[in-house]
Amino acid sequence: MDVPADEDRDPKGEQPPPLLQHLLALDDPATVEQVVEELGLWERPVPAPGRPHVMLNMIATVDGRASLGGRSGALSDHADRALFHGLRSTVDAVLVGAATLRIERYGRIIPDASRRQLRQRHGLGEEPLACVVSGRMTIAQDIPLLAEPAARIVVITASQASLPATAAHVEYVRAERDGHLDLSAAIAELQERYGVQSVLCEGGPHLARQLLGAGLIDELFLSLAPMLVGGEPTGGEALRILAGDELAPPPALELRSVLQSGSELFLRYGVCA
């Protein structure tokens, strides 16, 4: 049984009743473009000392599943996909693990020409830097992104190996410490070498857990899909948005905004240091 902290009690030793607030707004619905403006996502973030501002964008069902049939895209609907691309439009770099890159069949990061023009109007390049994390350079060669001439890819790895020649422009951030990938050093190098101020991580769950464990996530955008899936993880399928050891201590989250489309919720949290 949890015992309330002393500061939660009144002088008589009784715990005050909780106050609940209705979050469903009566404001007029807004487009993704309007939401991006209202949330201030075009504003250049204040990076943490020595590294960019890092946001994590994930989706989960109400019962906590992060994938269906092995793919997170199977949980997404039209509104989630629109917000997904809206978030991508505002950042300097998109970060993804090699397994997610392969499973979700990543192509061009900003496929829509009007969004590329919008980025340019806000002083950004047409495409975010596509950053792929692969500690041992296990990147499938048939990924559409690698065949995209306009793509600027940075492979983050602890390996000295390189990919065969591709149509995309590929560079490497090699960050190794004690035989393992040093994510903190790699993320810092994105800022130092490429001028990256904002990063959007799109998973997968193992990479998300590693970044959180290293204290490298500043915000979480979580889409809550209105479905119940059940089941247990099989093979490499992730059950939740984080995969790996339990975080100790678990980072606390601060709710910053709630959006609704139909029965789907879009939550924005700050990750408390």
DSSP secondary structure letters along 120-132? HHTT--SS-EEEE
Q: Average pLDDT for residues 76-98, to the nearest whole number?
A: 95
Question: Domain holding 101: CATH number?
Answer: 3.40.430.10
Q: Are 140 and 103 in contact (CB under 8 A)?
A: no
| DSSP-derived pairing of the beta strands 129-133 and 93-97 | parallel
What total of structural domains would you count in the chain? 1
Is 29 among the domain residues?
Answer: no
Is 189 among the domain residues?
Answer: yes
Structural domain harbouring 149: 60-229+238-271
Would you state the pLDDT for residue 139?
93
Query: Predicted confidence band at 22 (pLDDT cuts at 50, 70, 90)?
Result: confident
Which carries the bigger pLDDT value, residue 95 or residue 16?
95
Would you state the pLDDT for residue 4?
46
pLDDT tens, 214-254?
999 999 999 999 999 888 766 555 579 999 999 999 999 99
Is 16 among the domain residues?
Answer: no
Provide, rounded to the nearest whole percent, the portion of the chain with pLDDT above 70: 92
Q: Are 96 and 201 in contact (CB under 8 A)?
A: yes
**pTM of the predicted model, to two decimals?**
0.90
Q: For the ranges 15-24, 204-213, 232-241, which has the lowest average pLDDT? A: 232-241
Query: Predicted confidence band at 48 (pLDDT cuts at 50, 70, 90)?
Result: confident
Is 90 among the domain residues?
Answer: yes
Query: Predicted confidence band at 3 (pLDDT cuts at 50, 70, 90)?
Result: very low
Mean pLDDT of the chain: 90
Would you state the pLDDT for residue 82?
93
| Tokens 């990063």 belong to residue | 199
Is 136 among the domain residues?
Answer: yes
Is 43 among the domain residues?
Answer: no
Would you state the pLDDT for residue 233?
64
Q: For the ranges 32-41, 63-72, 149-158, 218-227, which has the lowest average pLDDT? A: 63-72
Report CA dihedral (202, 217, 208, 199) to the nearest 10 degrees.
30
CA distances from 252 to 26, 50, 120, 218, 219 (A): 29, 22, 35, 11, 11
Would you state the pLDDT for residue 235?
57
Is 100 among the domain residues?
Answer: yes
Would you state the pLDDT for residue 210?
96
Is 202 among the domain residues?
Answer: yes
Would you state the pLDDT for residue 12?
62
Query: Predicted confidence band at 187 (pLDDT cuts at 50, 70, 90)?
Result: very high
First to last CA, the chain: 27
pLDDT tens, 140-160?
999 999 999 999 999 999 999
